[in-house]
A and B are shown apart, each in its own frame.
Chain A
């Protein structure tokens, strides 16, 4: 039962272009969505998040869009840089007090110089 799905295992983009990473979810109870970035031999690091009451959140080159009716969120990276090459995990959580976070399988982004 994959409640959070990242259907693209990998994505290749030219430096300077836009990278768009997609994520779909099934559980309407999710109230917070996050993106994490992971380099080899390191743990995931938090990148950007969005509450379910919003539809867009922007932080520098990174923007997350949430479409609740479609149960879909996306991460836009503009412009893409070679240092952005990593695995990106979409995550969703719900609850107050104790909560669970469900992660997608990840999308490996390659940014070519």
Chain B
């Protein structure tokens, strides 16, 4: 079974631009969560999607948004990029909502210049 796939793996953008990251969960998994990892901060929860609906949201500004499609694939969008948005963005999937164990992709490393 293929794991969680995130594209692209690396991305370089400049301040003010917007970016879209993609995540394909494990086949059959319907819950997708997004995290931001920065040095010394661990993984910060962005949001969780299940059945195309956002079920939970972390404490991030409205510039961060996401969506989930009917095939459970998810996208995350960051508008008006700031230097502080440089981070590793991780996507995780689980079979159903309420499943504590999550399966992570390798992440997309975003650098904002």
Contacts and interface: CB of A to CB of B under 8 A. Distances in A.
Interface string B81-106: 00000000010100001101111111
Contacts of A41: 106
Interface residues of B, number: 26
Given A98-B56, A99-B56, A44 B100 contact: no
Interface residues of A, number: 28
Contacts of A69: none
Interface stretch (A14-22, A75-83, A103-111): A103-111
B41 A101 contact: no
A89 B42 contact: yes
Contact of A97 (B41, B43, B98, B101): B98
A25 to B, nearest CB: 13
Interface string A25-66: 000000010101000011111100100000000000000000
Contacts of A106: 42
Nearest to A91: B43
A85 interface: no
Most buried by B among A42, A98, A100: A98
B45 A102 contact: yes
B105 A99 contact: no
B42 A100 contact: no
Contact of B4 (A34, A43, A101, A102): A43
Interface of B: 4, 33, 35, 40-45, 48, 50, 55-56, 58, 90, 92, 97-98, 100-107
